[in-house]
Amino acid sequence: MGDDMEVDDAPLSPQQEQEEGAPAASGGTNSSKVAAMQTHTKATAVRSIEGWIVMVTNVHEEADEEAIQDKFGEFGEIKNLHLNLDRRSGYVKGYALIEYPTLEEARAAIDGAHETKLLDQTIQVDFAFVRPPPGKTGGGGRAGTGGGGGGRNGPGNRNRGGRSRSRSPVGRDD
């Protein structure tokens, strides 16, 4: 699997090199691995707790788990599959989330299935989770949101006890 992996030859932009040097990359991240972690829009994928999550969109409304398994099982072992339904129609909503244990399998699925047909519809396939761009570590409260409701920002509601959000799991890149 992974042998015929397509590696993007595009040179890294200064910003991406910066990202690679970020503390999140715990040692040994070579350039081919960085390329393997790149999304179609040149963001850098991150590993989730138990594997790599791949998003599939434009999934046919009559697709079922077997159809997803048939197409994506050839790239690796599918550890988890979420194929959510439209709450109104009961048909498939149009996306699937697939968990692969390794980066190689996820990369193979993205390279092998992106812009291919599934039940006559051209699907898009990419990593679901990425690293935050440098210098933007989320947070920032609710700046810029208008119309927030009265009352709920009252005493003791937000930021209670100063607990911070847990961040995306980082560190492992296998």
Partner 1 sequence: MSAANEPFYLRYYSGHSGRFGHEFLEFDFRVLGDGRSATARYANNSNYRNDSLIRKEMCVSSLVIDEIKRIIKDSEIMKEDDEKWPTKNKDGKQELEIRLGNDHISFETAKIGSINDVTDSADPEGLRVFYYLVQDLKALVFSLIALHFKIKPI
CA distance 109 to 99: 11
CB of 6 to partner 1, least distance (A): 18
Q: In terms of CB distance, is 3 or 136 closer to partner 1?
A: 136
CA distance 90 to 96: 15
The four Cα atoms 111, 113, 116, 122 give a dihedral, to 10 degrees, of: -110
- Using CB under 8 A, which of 12, 42, 75, 109 touches partner 1? 42
Q: Per-residue x/- marks for partner 1, 85-104, CB under 8 A?
A: xxxx----xxx-x-x-----
- Backbone angles phi and psi of 168, in degrees to 5: -55, 145
Strands 124-127 and 52-57: antiparallel
Binding site for partner 1 (CB under 8 A): 39-43, 45-46, 48-50, 53, 55, 57, 80, 82, 84-88, 93-95, 97, 99, 124-133, 136, 138-139, 142, 144-149, 151-152, 156-157, 160, 163-169
